[in-house]
Amino acid sequence: MSVALRNAQRAVLVRRAPLRRAVCVLRAALGAARFDVGLVCAGNGLMRHLNGVYRQCLEPTDVLSFPFHRVAAGELPRPLSRDEYNLGDIFLGVEYIHQQCRSTGEDFDSVLVVTAAHGLCHLLGYQHNTKAEWQQMYQKEAEILEELNRLTGASVRPLTAGLF
């Protein structure tokens, strides 16, 4: 199925083709290659707005995920029709991520891919509100990023190693 990628910002240059390819690999590593996913590259204004509306936080953020299905962590949706083969949408705060990378010296393209992996995990029910949830999500992120590394020669890892 498809990864629909839309660049809804102009502040940061986004290399869309490599990002789309990486998300396809990550989606397959999650066992969800048959499902569509929407990916929106957003600026700080849109991320601030969405974060305010959906999380009551009036600041931009790196990623927001909007699942099409509600599933337990690690479960795949069970679509009843072709129209339901959709994981949902991920909004990547590319301007926010770019600003963070400039201050930390991390590679923007790599962080973008890792952040997309985090968003994909959220679409499949993973959360990080407790230490146990975080450990489960971190393990899944590490697993799918390792598969990405193996298939593409990349060298990325989860960003949330020290969350708890």
Question: Which pLDDT score, from 0 to 100, does residue 147 have?
Answer: 97
CATH says 3-152 is which class? Answer: alpha beta
What confidence tens digit (pLDDT) does each residue in 106-123 have? 999 999 999 999 999 999
Do residues 71 and 21 make contact, with C-beta atoms less than 8 angstroms apart? no
Asked whether the predicted pLDDT for residue 128 surpasses 80, the reply is yes
Give the model confidence (pLDDT) of 2-45 as tens digits: 999 999 999 999 999 999 999 999 999 999 999 999 999 999 99
Name the average pLDDT for the chain. Answer: 95
pTM value is: 0.95
> What's the rounded Cα separation, in Å, for the pair 149 and 145?
6
DSSP track, 3-56? EEEEE--SSS---HHHHHHHHHHHHHHTT-TTSEEEEEEE-HHHHHHHHHHHHS
pLDDT of residue 60: 97
Structure tokens at 96: 């926010």
| Residue range 88-97: mean pLDDT, rounded | 98
pLDDT at 164 over 90: no
Q: Which amino acid is at 38?
A: G
Q: What percent of the chain is modeled with pLDDT above 90?
A: 95
pLDDT score, position 59:
97
Q: What residue ranges do the domains of the chain occupy?
A: 3-152
Specify the range with the lowest mean pLDDT, choosing from 87-91, 114-118, 157-161: 157-161
